Amino acid sequence: MVSYRQHIGENLLLALDTLRSHKFRSFLTVLGVLIGTMTVILVASVISGLDQRLVDAASQFGTRTLWVYKLQLGTPHRLTKEERLRKPLTFEDAVAIRNECPAAEQVSVILFRGLGEFGMLPPSVAKYKGQQMLNGQFSGVTPEHLQVINSSLADGRFFTDVDEVHHRDVTVIGADVVEMLFGLEDPVGKTISVDGHTFEVIGTLEKFKSFLGDNPDNRTIFIPYTTYKKIYPDAKDNFISVMAYPGMLDQAVDQVTGLLRRRRHVSPSQADNFGIATAESVITQFRDIVSTIALVMVVISSIGLLVGGIGVMNIMLVSVTERTREIGVRKAVGARRSDITWQFLFEAMTLTGGGGVMGIALGWLFSFLIKTLVPSLPSTVPMWSIATGFIVAVSVGLFFGMWPALKAARLDPITALRYE
């Protein structure tokens, strides 16, 4: 074992000595490996950061909450004709879910004037004294909504059944609304104007985590469901949130799906004409998209590694030619073919491994800069990407260094000694 370790150490020292003798040539040779490894680290860090940010943002609404709407929730897309003509869910659908789905613990309903082409609520203008907010998310909700979406109050109170019954003009506003309209002033008890209607602020919401920059949930302006219906009698778009009993999320999805298919007269051969999403399904959908992007980036980085590997093979063939006489001397004093092979393989792996280390360092540096300069774009370097980047870089040297190493090992010692 000792002699084997000494053998490895000697080959490693020989490889490092050769690289020191040709620093600039070695750097140019591994430039492709460096770029490829850096790309892998950078892509992995951004994807890992985005994934963690999405998990945090989606999970804050509750891991046992499902969202039901006439359209499938998730990635914004241009609506088809069938989707545009779908009839909305009704308040009665929510009541039926509450009464007929045993797995549903709580049900809340959001009423609004309709989503836009890409699934966004129409913005509303909120005013307080001389301040105004042009992109508020104005909607009516039932008293159970705060519990169902797993949110909490920063101050004041939420709506009660009394507010619902009497159609009171009261509102609970999100963190961004508080900041924009009131600054450091206490908003509770103040009166604001939303699209020309006045409401008393009775509560404020804790700030929601954001995924990429702004979170529209922080711009929410909630009023009681019945009050919204009074102001906008033609509003028909209902968004239903269902909180399942612990451990019964899958059963809740099945029960709600079956109930709505019956209520919306969907035949067994037809697809659902509504959408149901959970935090897990949103995360899965995002990961499917990201995996495609990651695959494209891996292909791009593989091109860099391929170019770098070809460069390594080329420079190692040149090195074999330059050191033909040295190879002959080594063989003359007793070096075996395996000794020559491993000498050149170690040199190639050290070359690409060094490029991999530089690529990892640059990838980590760029990841840190992205995280510092663009806080909305999270970036975290996972340990597996560092290990993978280094192993791949060394493997490139092993693969592309094989031919030059075997060529060197097969040289005839007498011919090699005569080489000038």
Averaged pLDDT for residues 61-84: 77
Phi-psi sector, 145: left (phi>0), alpha (psi -120 to 50), beta: alpha
DSSP letter assigned to residue 245: P
Q: What is the mean pLDDT of residues 256-261?
A: 93
Per-residue pLDDT, 289:
75
Structure tokens at 58: 């989606």
At residue 121, the pLDDT reads 62
Pairwise CA distance, residues 183 & 155, whole Å: 15
Mean pLDDT of 79-94: 85
Token pair recorded at residue 174: 């999100």
Q: Residue 118: what are its φ and ψ, rounded to 5°? A: -110, 30
pLDDT value of residue 228: 94
pLDDT tens digit string along 180-218?
999 889 999 999 999 889 999 999 998 876 655 566 778
Residue 4 has what pLDDT? 43
Distance CA 86, CA 84 (A): 6
Cα distance between residue 16 and residue 9, in whole Å: 11
pLDDT at 284: 77
pLDDT of residue 256: 94
- Least confident range from 25-29, 188-192, 259-263, 414-418: namely 414-418
In this structure, what DSSP letter does residue 274 have? S
Label the pairing between strands 131-141 and 220-224.
Answer: parallel
Give the model's pLDDT for residue 2.
Answer: 42
What's the CA gap between 71 and 62, in Å, rounded?
21
> Which residues lie below 8 Å from residue 169, measured CB to CB, with a gap of 6+?
197, 198, 199, 200, 223, 227
pLDDT at 59: 65
Q: What are the tens digits of pLDDT across the range 37-70? A: 888 888 888 888 777 777 776 666 667 888 898 8
Mean pLDDT on 251-276: 90
Type of residue found at 395:
S
Q: Are 210 and 223 in contact (CB under 8 A)?
A: no
Residue 322, classed as helix, strand or coil, is helix
Contact between residue 159 and residue 172 where contact means Cβ atoms under 8 Å apart: yes
Q: Average the pLDDT over 331-356 and give the result.
A: 80
- Whether 147 shows a pLDDT value over 90: the answer reads no
Average pLDDT value for residue range 328-353:
79
Average pLDDT, the chain: 82
Query: pTM score > 0.75 for this model?
Result: no
Indicate whether 339 pLDDT > 80. Answer: no
pLDDT of residue 108: 93
Q: Read off the pLDDT of residues 370-394 as tens digits, 9 standing for 90 and up.
A: 888 877 677 778 888 888 888 888 8
Mean pLDDT of the 305-329 span: 79
Nearest CA to 286 out of 40, 42, 57 is that of 57
Whether the pLDDT of residue 243 is over 60: the answer is yes
Whether the per-residue pLDDT at 171 is higher than 80: the answer is: yes
Helix (H, G, I), strand (E, B) or coil at 333: coil
pLDDT category at 3 given cuts 50, 70, 90 is very low
Angle at 219 between CA 238 and CA 91, to 5 degrees: 10
Residue whose pair of structure tokens reads 């995924």 in the numeric block: 211
Helix (H, G, I), strand (E, B) or coil at 124: strand
Structure tokens at 33: 């490996």
Per-residue exposure over 326-358, b if at least 16 CB sit within 10 Å of its own CB, e if not: ebbebbeeebeeeebbbbbbbbbbbbbbbbbbb
Task: Look at residues 112, 361, 68 and name the one whose alpha carbon lies nearest to residue 216.
Answer: 112
Q: How many helices (H) and strands (E) does the chain have?
A: 16, 11
Between CA 196 and CA 105 the distance in angstroms is 37
In the prediction, which pLDDT does 11 show?
57
